[in-house]
Homo-oligomer: A and B are copies of this chain.
């Protein structure tokens, strides 16, 4: 069903037909349709949203709810009766409930907690207490575990009785005194003899995370071992939750957005572009702009020092943008490669000299090519051998220096346990710009007989 069909059915009050049409949609598509209706159509407001949501088949409603923006979720929660709220919450997985709560204002949170039963409320509070971006904060406490002396038949019976409620029963966990000692997949249970004891058929090589591990480490474990779910244990090795692949995909998405933001000199921000206010956008951008503006001043001070030379040969100024630009790009190419290599564990700190040697060779070849093209260009346009020599020599020095700094700074940052992407950007551009201008005017002074 598309937007126009939905609007038409609403206007014709063909609610039964609307309900059927929604029933045939995937929950995420239904949520997207509802979001577009409210965004694109001024007649479609909060009242219509609540009305439409109440039309949805009950089992679909809760799923659609999890796919809505937090703004729309808030509107709906405010419109719900206590009974409606409870019935939606009952259908939600615990980690989705916690995700929703984290986005809600205090009064909505207390309504949600009041509507949950005491056991669920205890679990929600526990999950809310883990630090942001930790394994604990993205796990769910709903998982299936068995004692090591259970039989395969007991286990299958228990899974049948629990049914579809638990988020991942395809990997089941075997515990002893609440400590995780093994895993077994549903498929393994299915092909095993019914009277077999779990301890004899479980896998005891377990990949697991601890509640305080960083979510980025968790995502690395998933990718390294191709996991569908990962058990999480507390400081006493007790199994307290599991993380599923879908939450890790969200983490990967967020981390990649964060990296892109850092490279674009924007402070990361969790809200979407339009949900962020103008002032919040300014706040996430102005810091870097100020830092970079102030640091560019250093380069200005260096050129200022060579005022006499500039007055004498103002043509020198014409090559400044090219030199600084090429230096900046050469440096950021190197730092991008190194930051990415380190993030993927392809480059380790002990490879320091190997990296420098490699970058030096890459830089040298790039520098020779750029410098040759540039020499020819200046000779063609300005017929000035000395200027061409000055600019081309500076270019070689600038590119080599920029590429070396571009690999040294991120590795240094990592060694000092600072985020390489954040530290290297401003320092790199400042250093490359000022060094290249210093080099340029120094070479000019010597070759142009001032």
Give the B-binding residues of A (Cβ under 8 A). Answer: 24-28, 32, 156, 159-160, 163-164, 169-170, 186-188, 190-191, 205, 207, 222-228, 245-246, 248-250, 252-253, 256-257, 259-261, 263-266, 272-274, 278-279, 281-282, 285-286, 288-290, 292-294, 296-297, 299-301, 303-304, 307-308, 310-311, 314-315, 317-322, 324-326, 329-330, 332-333, 335-341, 344, 346-347, 351, 354-355, 358, 361-362, 365-366, 369-370, 373-374, 377, 399, 429, 433, 437
The answer for the CA separation of A231 and B228 in the assembled complex, in Å, is 17
- Complex contact B324–A324 (CB within 8 A): yes
- What is the bound-complex CA distance between A274 and B227, given in angstroms? 27
| Cβ distance A20 to chain B, nearest Cβ, rounded Å | 12
Whether A330 contacts B289 in the complex (CB less than 8 A), given A205-B26, A366-B282, comes out as yes
22 A-B pairs within 8 Å (CB atoms) are namely A32-B224, A159-B187, A160-B190, A186-B186, A226-B249, A227-B246, A228-B228, A252-B253, A263-B264, A265-B336, A274-B354, A281-B358, A285-B362, A289-B326, A289-B366, A300-B321, A303-B320, A304-B315, A307-B317, A310-B317, A311-B314, A320-B321
A222 / chain B contacts, CB cutoff of 8 Å: 249
Checking B285, B317, B361 against A303 with a beta-carbon cut-off of 8 angstroms, the contacting residue is: B317
Question: Known: A191-B160, A252-B256, A314-B307. Contact between A319 and B344, CB under 8 A?
Answer: no
Beta-carbon contact of A260 and B340 below 8 Å: yes
* Contact present for B326 and A324 (CB under 8 Å): no
Interface centre among A282, A286, A314 (most CB of B within 10 A): A314
Other contacts beyond A278-B361, A290-B370: 19, CB < 8 A: A26-B207, A186-B186, A223-B246, A228-B245, A253-B344, A257-B344, A260-B263, A266-B333, A273-B355, A282-B365, A282-B369, A285-B330, A285-B366, A289-B329, A290-B373, A299-B325, A300-B318, A300-B322, A314-B314
